[in-house]
Amino acid sequence: MRRPSLLSIIVLLTASNYTWSQDLKLNDLEYLETQGVNVLVYNNLFTGGFNDEKNAGIELIHHGVRTAQGGAVRLSNTPEQWDLVPEISSRKVDRASKSIEAMLRYKDYDFDSRVVVTAKGKGVEISVYLDKPVPKVLEGSAGFNLELLPSQYWNKAYLMDGRYNRFPRYVVGNTITRPNSEKPKQFKGYITSDDRGTGKFIDPLPLETGRTLLLAPDEPSRLVKITSQDADLMLFDGRVLAQNGWFVIRSILPAGKTGKVLTWTLEPNAIKGWIREPNIGFSQVGYLPSQPKVAVIELDKKDKPLAKASLYKVGNDGNVAEVFSGKIIPWGNYFKYHYVKFDFTTVKDPGIYYIQYGNFKTNNFLIENNVYEKITDATSDVWIPIHMNHMYVNEAYRVWHGEPFKEGYRQAPPNTDHFDLHSQGPTTDTKYKALELIHGLNVGGFFDAGDFDIETGSNISVVQNFVHTWEYFKPLRDQTFVSQQQRYVDLHRPDGTPDVLQFIEHGTLNLVAQAEIVGHMTQTLSNAVLDNYHHLGDAASLTDGLPYDPNLGPYEVAKDGRSSGVKDDLWAFTTRNPSLDLNAATMFAAASRALKGYNDDLSSRALLQSKRLLKEATELLANKPQDTSAWARSANVGTNLQLYIATGEQQYKDKFQELLWPALDRSVNFNLLTALNAIPHMDASFKEKLRPYVVKYNDYIKGLEKNNPYGVPITLGNWAGSGAVMNFGTTICFAHKYFPDVVDGSQAFKVTNWLFGCHPYHNYSLVATVGATRPKNVFYGNNRADLSFIPGNVAPGILFRKPDHFENYDDWPFLWGQNEGTIAGNTNYLIFGSAFKNLVK
């Protein structure tokens, strides 16, 4: 017999899968769906901040995973993050025709297009309309793009007009170089890449070109067929230009034409009878024998909940036995899914367990008295010291980074718009001239996150978090060698000094230098060149370590080796913000206390700057329109509290109380933790006056049980909510400490459950290496190009995508809103973890 060809098998599989599919319908949330397929059409819009965040346009959620996005008219083959994105000036839904229409506009080119997506059977028709032809300058550049998530397609097959190939696991492909003059304006005028004097930019060539593209015929859950009636489909690998690039399918818009100028048909496969597997949420770290133990099970709305679930114990001999069976407790619907709970609190014997729900069982976890003892160790021992700026950081045989930015920082020129959402105002607000070197700022401080800048606001929060940790819990853990004289850090090498004290010193050194040298707090110390900003790898190689000399030629080094002609020096953005100065005054007052007896000189300098900044910022704010944000209004409350604790002066105590009670009336949730921190320093009447606010907060805690199945505050913005959840947990710990009759300390276990696996989308621990069986494996850190992580990193968490989808990719790190650990967020975790461990004890 003749063996059937691969093509015939694929055709049969494809045909059978499509006969199982159901027609797409327009639902009440204004997207197109059938079971297993959601097609979102500009439910999420491109931003004007970071432009292309890979979170917008026409999106495909395919069998529970968002696999495609960015469907829109774009101006390059493989758009990068800061490329221009279209403004969506209007969006119309026509239920009769099952279509959604959006107007896309590039105001830089006075270029408008209309994209209409219409349900057609099991797929959609995507049509592009032009009322005026493509502008001459964009001919050959303007096209319709759709981007595919690489991690969901690499190593899978694709066919272009019947020709077989596979999506590459690692970036491959051919490129050409073209003169910079041929590239359309894309980057808001920033210098975007270093062409090393060639005057040319890299332009990727397509992997394949044709009219019919079949994606992943070897994987029905990712199978998509795309055909174009009017123009070639080109398949590009966007990772050629940037590690965060996606696979791009693209058709060029024709020149000189109007009306309907392009039509695609997109047919995503929907597997017959597909039901999303249950997501059994539980703590990967495990549980104390005495604590509440409740798993939250996330179900497809078409999945019928079972009556019971079971708990199995793994014996010391390796044999497994069912030790508990309990009823499933219904909770209800929450956005896209249905939720039930499984309570196994009565199981208290230490051991190794797993949950069985129908045919699905979890990985194992522990019930033991010591499960929480080490939850902060990786963060304090590894992640935090690795992010110490202006230091050489070593770990055994590995160098995480050399000493960065030896050349220091230059004054940002007036009227400079920065690509990381900062700006320098019309003046420098300092004694320094534009681009003048500001000596003395290259000391101390922490990298903000996956980049290498010092975000002053974040660093202020960081030092404050360290001080709170030190003053309340006195952690004597010493696993890091820190030498400011040598500018050297060595991990896992004790040096006789508690690490937290050294972290306070390191952060304060930079912030005091800002106050003393600049005269106030900078907005940020950051990159002047975009090509440097998205640098991945060793921070010390981001610049050449030599001050720039305009008298030298490009890449020329002075004969004495002390300067160069490379414009890679970082800038200080120094526009004064009195509210930021107030926050710094708060932190300096607290830091002065912690440093007393350890670094007395730095302690006295910090206290001096605290008093000065408080006085000057208060005067400046009195002459400006009132900032009504909760952040700004609360700053002065905390500043006066910290100064009172540091000095004992009555004026600060009086001012604190004058400001506190109106702040609590405005927002108990936002200000209660500050009030709780004041209790040890106030009299008994203060605590009793605070009691009604704690009662109100306790009502908020209880209300969250009805708000969502996890009972924690879940945020729905473009940055996921781990920070809000941790703040919630810290507040519970302190409220229970001072008001145990009002706030039940066991409420804090909801926070550890969430962080360590009991949350939507998947059940992985959101803290790298914490949750021994299944922590997240990839994060957005400065080693994200390796699809790896830095131990102790804490992910922002489960990101909400409008209108009803939660996600957290664990195979693709490049979405910062769900995967980027920050220095402020991770030290927030440090103080929560410390407060939580104290509560457990």
- Cα gap 49→194, rounded to integer Å: 23
Cβ-proximal residues to 611 (8 Å cutoff; 6+ apart), any chain: 585, 643
Sequential DSSP letters for 23-63: --EE-TTSSEEETTEEEEESSSPPPSSSS--S--SEEEEET
Say if residue 107 is exposed, middle or buried (CB neighbours under 10 Å; 0-12, 13-18, 19+): exposed
The alpha carbon of 678 is separated from its chain's Cα centroid by a whole number of angstroms, namely 32
- Cα gap 26→41, rounded to integer Å: 11
Name residue 791's amino acid: P
- Cα gap 364→772, rounded to integer Å: 9
Q: Is residue 303 among the annotated active site residues?
A: no
Give me the residues paired with residue 355 across strands. 311
On whether the CB atoms of residues 168 and 154 are closer than 8 A, the answer is yes
On whether the CB atoms of residues 796 and 828 are closer than 8 A, the answer is no
Question: Hunting for tokens 């145990």 — which residue is that?
Answer: 740
Say if residue 12 is exposed, middle or buried (CB neighbours under 10 Å; 0-12, 13-18, 19+): exposed
- Cα gap 294→345, rounded to integer Å: 7
Q: Token pair for residue 393? A: 């950081």
Cβ-proximal residues to 16 (8 Å cutoff; 6+ apart), any chain: none
Question: Hunting for tokens 């980027």 — which residue is that?
Answer: 820
Question: Hunting for tokens 């008295």 — which residue is that?
Answer: 369
- Cα gap 325→343, rounded to integer Å: 10
Q: Is residue 811 among the annotated active site residues?
A: yes
Helices (H) and strands (E) in the chain, counts: 17, 41
On whether the CB atoms of residues 305 and 342 are closer than 8 A, the answer is no
Give the residue among 628, 638, 644 at the shortest CA–CA distance from 671.
638
Considering only CA atoms, give the Rg of the chain: 28
120 — phi, psi (to 5°)?
-130, 95
* Maximum alpha-carbon separation in the chain: 97
Q: Token pair for residue 65? A: 């995973």
Catalytic residue among 182, 665, 699, 811: 811
Name residue 324's amino acid: F
Say if residue 417 is exposed, middle or buried (CB neighbours under 10 Å; 0-12, 13-18, 19+): exposed
Query: How many Cβ atoms are within 10 Å of 308's Cβ, its own excluded?
Result: 12
On whether the CB atoms of residues 344 and 295 are closer than 8 A, the answer is yes
| Long-range contacts at 492-498 (CB < 8 A, ≥ 24 apart) | 492/381, 492/395, 492/396, 497/598, 498/470, 498/474
Q: Token pair for residue 650? A: 């009555």
Number of residues in the chain: 841
Catalytic residue among 101, 112, 568, 820: 820
Q: Token pair for residue 703? A: 């209300």
Dihedral angle at the C-alpha atoms of 340, 344, 345, 351, nearest 10 degrees? -140
- Cα gap 330→302, rounded to integer Å: 15
Report, as residue numbers or ranges, the catalytic residues: 811, 820
